[in-house]
Amino acid sequence: MKLDILAFGAHPDDVELGCAGTILKEVSLGKKVGIVDLTRGELGTRGSAEIRDEEAAAAAKILGVSARENLGMRDGFFVNDEKHQIEIIKMIRKYQPEIVLCNAIDDRHIDHGKGSKLVSDACFLSGLMKIETELDGEQQSAWRPKLVYHYIQWKNIEPDFVVDITGFTDKKIEAILAYRSQFYDPNSTEPESPITSKNFFESLNYRSRDLGRLVGLDYAEGFTVERCLAVNSLGDLR
């Protein structure tokens, strides 16, 4: 199944927190989008891998994505090496996306920066014909996504561009709340962590309000790029 956009996240919920609004918008425009989670988030303070699997499936339904896979890498300990790059390359060649979205280039959780570089490196390597991969007994063809964009999650990284997500914020929050075990819940008896605070939950809204404010929109999500952006004409920018 060929997809237009493939979004990678180190943990189930990274994609929702970083770019759910953009995914909802692209799906509404008729684009085919998929998600690949690198780990099952088994080291998360609250919940368990099994609970996260169910939550990720529920969130995928809300987002309207065409596919969601989990590579089962080790939460906290996966590395950017040949073995892990090949696993990502197989996903890129399987879905042949034009655009790849991946974790923030630097973040509080060490897996985010690691996952960001791992996916970015694999996007380059996936285009090299002499790297041979097989999936379900079939030889895969080389494929390099045209664009790799990094979403923003915990740290306030200055974006290179923003996407107008006005009209998609309620559904974005709904997708994030599908991870019932993970976020602010005054009735939870599980331990607190930085992401279970009320402030963090409210920051999801106020960050997109603030990014929107800076460019005259109601709500926006920001991304960084690895190479300079190109447009067909000056009028393409708003």
Residues that bind Zn ion (CB under 5 A): 11, 14, 109
State in angstroms the smallest separation of the CB of 153 from Zn ion. Answer: 7
List, in order, residues 6 or more apart from 225 with CB less than 8 Å away: 147, 148, 149, 150, 160, 161
Residue matched to tokens 């393409």? 236
State in angstroms the smallest separation of the CB of 209 from Zn ion. Answer: 22
Q: Please identify, using beta-carbon distances, which residue of 44 and 212 lies nearer to Zn ion.
A: 44
Q: Please identify, using beta-carbon distances, which residue of 48 and 141 lies nearer to Zn ion.
A: 48
Q: Please identify, using beta-carbon distances, which residue of 11 and 94 lies nearer to Zn ion.
A: 11
Dihedrals phi, psi of 23, to nearest 5 degrees: -65, -45
Q: Please identify, using beta-carbon distances, which residue of 102 and 148 lies nearer to Zn ion.
A: 102
Residue 43, class by beta-carbon neighbours within 10 Å (0-12 exposed, 13-18 middle, 19+ buried)? middle
Cα–Cα distance between 72 and 169 in angstroms, integer? 29
Q: Taking CB positions, which residue lies at the least distance from Zn ion?
A: 11
State in angstroms the smallest separation of the CB of 178 from Zn ion. Answer: 15
Cα–Cα distance between 142 and 67 in angstroms, integer? 21
Contact, 182 vs 190, CB < 8 A? no
Q: Please identify, using beta-carbon distances, which residue of 14 and 87 lies nearer to Zn ion.
A: 14
Q: How many other CB atoms are found less than 10 A from the CB of residue 160?
A: 14
Cα–Cα distance between 64 and 154 in angstroms, integer? 24
State in angstroms the smallest separation of the CB of 72 from Zn ion. Answer: 15
Cα–Cα distance between 33 and 35 in angstroms, integer? 7
State in angstroms the smallest separation of the CB of 212 from Zn ion. Answer: 24
Q: Please identify, using beta-carbon distances, which residue of 25 and 109 lies nearer to Zn ion.
A: 109
Q: What is the DSSP letter of 196?
A: G
State in angstroms the smallest separation of the CB of 85 from Zn ion. Answer: 20
